[in-house]
Amino acid sequence: MSHHAGAHGSRFSAKLWSFASRAPAPATMTRISDPLDFGPGLAVAARSSASISRLQTPENQDNLLQTPENQDNLLLIDATGRAAFLRDQAPHSAQVPGWPAGHVRVAVMDGMGGHGHGREAAEAVAAGLLDIPACTTQAQLDQQLDALHTALQARFRQPGDGDSFRRPGTTLTLLEIAPGQAPLLYHAGDSRLYEISAQAARPLTVDHVPATCYAMHGLLGEQEWWQQVHGEHRPQISQAYILGNAFVNPQVLEDALLPLDDTRLPPFLRALGDRRTIAVRPDALYLLATDGFWSCGRPLEWTARWPALMERPGHAPGAALDALFADYAAHPPRELHIDNITAIVLRFTASGTSARENIDETALPAAAIASYF
């Protein structure tokens, strides 16, 4: 995606990818996670693609466009320290030295254009995450990732360029999973973490978009927020990794990230802070995904299909991931805005993490979400 400052400097448009790709996009990927070993308590499947829409297949010559650049990225470090990520839009692997046995890190990134370096920004974050040591506390994780944000911001700053609105950036939604502990979340941007049970697909993160900024300032109520963020397509963003934030002052892009927590979020979103422990359920799937999966006219119609599609009896994360991608390709959402798509699907077992039977403290009930549409 790309971004630009709005008329009042408070909105950054998350447009579609650039067709002027500097590197050829690869063919549709198989699961990048297949060679990895996440240990006995966790199953993970992951995939990223520039686009798999039927609108860009040869039989649709009237709509056929140049293959888009994949500005998404992802990072997986398995329980043995083996890592998988994208470089130049192709899968790469590496061994992380000194990685503790059983520790896992997974993340999705969605690059934003700026000077045309959205892909490079997401790649730089993936590479930087390889150098961050395994973290076992939220404070440690936050400190390490905030420092990486600052370092990469300095790297991408052009000499003599004082226009911060032209700075590239990327979303970052990450889970840090230490052996026997509940996952730690770190979130910036509008990629999402979902919990998918047989009953509902529940968002566990808050999009960093103008509607959230308005809600924080008391200018938007609960129903309006859910409608604008989850019921419509509004391709704008107010905070992203490397980019900075426009939450403090919507007229100004600040360098630092602003963590949204229960002291800043309105009451109806306070359980969904950006940096917190996630209490997981063994009877649910967890989906980290970029916004290409819901960039359509009626996103809720599409995401409401996910429980029946993905959470089937005996469905491993790989089968659930394949079902998600196949359904997107064969039956794309109405009014689809073609975009890069990246997803990581996880299933935890009770023996692998500190699982709980419910997560009322981290998600709204399904009925509360559905009632707004």
Instruction: Please answer whether residues 309 and 330 qualify as being in contact, where contact means their C-beta atoms are separated by less than 8 angstroms.
Output: no
pLDDT of residue 7: 34
Within-domain flag for 5 = no
| Helix boundaries (H) for the chain | 118-131, 138-156, 210-216, 222-230, 299-303, 306-310, 317-330, 366-370
Within-domain flag for 178 = yes
pLDDT tens sequence for the chain (373 residues): 544 333 334 343 333 333 233 344 333 447 999 999 999 999 999 999 887 655 544 444 444 455 678 899 999 999 999 999 999 999 999 999 999 999 999 999 999 865 568 899 999 999 999 999 999 999 999 999 999 999 999 998 876 555 555 678 999 999 999 999 999 999 999 999 999 999 999 999 999 999 999 999 999 999 999 999 999 988 889 999 999 999 988 888 899 999 999 999 999 999 999 999 999 999 999 999 999 999 888 999 899 999 999 988 777 999 999 999 999 988 888 888 878 999 999 999 866 555 444 333 333 434 444 444 3
Residue 12: its H or E element: strand 12-13
Within-domain flag for 7 = no
- For the chain, the domain total comes to 1
Within-domain flag for 361 = yes
Within-domain flag for 6 = no
Within-domain flag for 334 = yes
pLDDT of residue 362: 35
Cα separation of 34 and 27, whole Å?
17
Within-domain flag for 32 = yes
pLDDT of residue 269: 97
Distant-in-sequence contacts of 19-23, Cβ < 8 A, 24+ apart: 19/65, 19/66, 19/68, 19/69, 20/116, 21/66, 21/67, 21/68, 21/69, 22/69, 23/69, 23/88, 23/89, 23/119
> What CATH number does residue 158 fall under?
3.60.40.10
pLDDT of residue 55: 52
Parent domain of 310: 12-370
pLDDT of residue 361: 36
pLDDT of residue 87: 94
pLDDT of residue 22: 38
pLDDT of residue 117: 85
- One-letter amino acid at 260 equals L
Q: Is 279 left (phi over 0), alpha (psi -120 to 50) or beta?
A: beta
Cα separation of 209 and 227, whole Å?
13
Residue 367: CB atoms within 10 A of its CB come to 9
Within-domain flag for 4 = no
Predicted model pTM? 0.86
Q: How many helices (H) and strands (E) does the chain have?
A: 8, 17
